[in-house]
Amino acid sequence: MTIKIGVPPIKSQGIKTKLVPWIQSVVPSDFDGTWIEPFMGTGVVAFNVAPRRALLCDSNPHLVNFYASIASGNITPEVVKEFLTREGEVLLSKGEDHYYFVRDRFNAEHSPLDFLFVNRAGFNGMIRFNKKGGFNIPFCRKPQRFAQAYVTKIVNQVAWVSKIIKAKEFTFRCQDFNKTIQDASSKDLIYCDPPYIDRHVDYYNGWDDSQERELFRQLSGFAGKFILSTWHHNDYRENEYVKSLWSEHRVLTREHFYHVGGKEENRNPVVEALVTNFTENPIRRREERQVQYILLEPPAEYSAA
């Protein structure tokens, strides 16, 4: 059996696309509460798990604003197609000057469509902000970035996400992870994908020792179930926080390769960890081993012809 894994319209380094099947296999088969993410990021896990109810939060207002705009109908596949086609033509004509023009416009006005543009035309799919909150990723140096096929790909990703949001009860909020966890009930399942401590920080507010420890305290005291994504070790060192903190819970591991970093030599395999406060589902685990997962784009419902 083959299961398709959808790809969201927002890109980021460390995105969990290829780890979604593993995460799904850990989710209890009888789960019927609200799926809660204090660090929604690109939303790739929630959109693929597609629970009946979800609360997706992040401290990055631009991520939340983008998906909330899809939920409200302000951003549609048609709107995205028209916007990226128009801005892509200007980019092809003016080159990187137009990228920096849109980046400055985004930093001044915070348009979710401009956010999509700089996210997909910025270097290496990175999301990074300076201390003043300004998006500061350089241009990918591809003036032809928004060719017809690429626009169609992004439009289809928006259509896929839009269909899920409209069919389910998805809520988006910009708030701190502490409030998100504190407001959750024992019937809910919290999935956390915080920035990876002591590795790369591709995040709006950064991440440090005190935040990692506070997250551990909050999740350890949570009356419901949680799943946490983090890194376990690589060829050079181990995640000391797994030993000192997270080992109090159940820790599952799997090797994964991240395309992280501007230089190829910085892109190395890492052993991923899933930390849970409950026993994994053995039936789901057997099913996962028997299924072949492939990454596919959504059907081309909105052709760029």
DSSP state at residue 32: -
234 to each of 221, 237, 238, 259, how far by Cα in Å? Answer: 29, 6, 6, 14
Residue 96 three-state SS:
helix
For residues 194 and 203, give the distance between their C-alpha atoms in angstroms, rounded to a whole number: 9
**Residues 155, 302 contacting (CB under 8 angstroms):** yes
Q: Where are the domains of the chain?
A: 2-61+169-295, 77-157
77-157 CATH fold: Adenine-specific Methyltransferase; domain 2 (1.10.1020)
CATH of 2-61+169-295, one of 3.10.580.10, 3.40.50.10490, 3.40.50.150, 3.50.50.60: 3.40.50.150
Give dist(CA 20, CA 193) in Å, integer: 12
User: Which residue's structure tokens are 């966890």?
Assistant: 181
Q: State how far the Cα of 9 lies from the Cα of 191, in Å rounded to an integer.
A: 20
- Residue pLDDT tens, the chain, 305 long: 677 899 999 999 888 999 999 999 999 999 999 999 999 999 999 999 999 999 999 999 999 999 999 999 999 999 999 999 999 999 999 999 999 999 999 999 999 999 999 999 999 989 999 989 999 999 999 999 999 999 999 999 999 999 999 999 999 999 999 999 999 999 999 999 999 988 755 556 679 999 999 999 999 999 999 999 999 999 889 999 999 999 999 999 998 765 555 454 445 688 999 999 998 665 555 555 555 556 655 544 444 33
pTM above 0.75, yes or no: yes
The closest alpha carbon to 76, from 301, 249, 258, belongs to 301
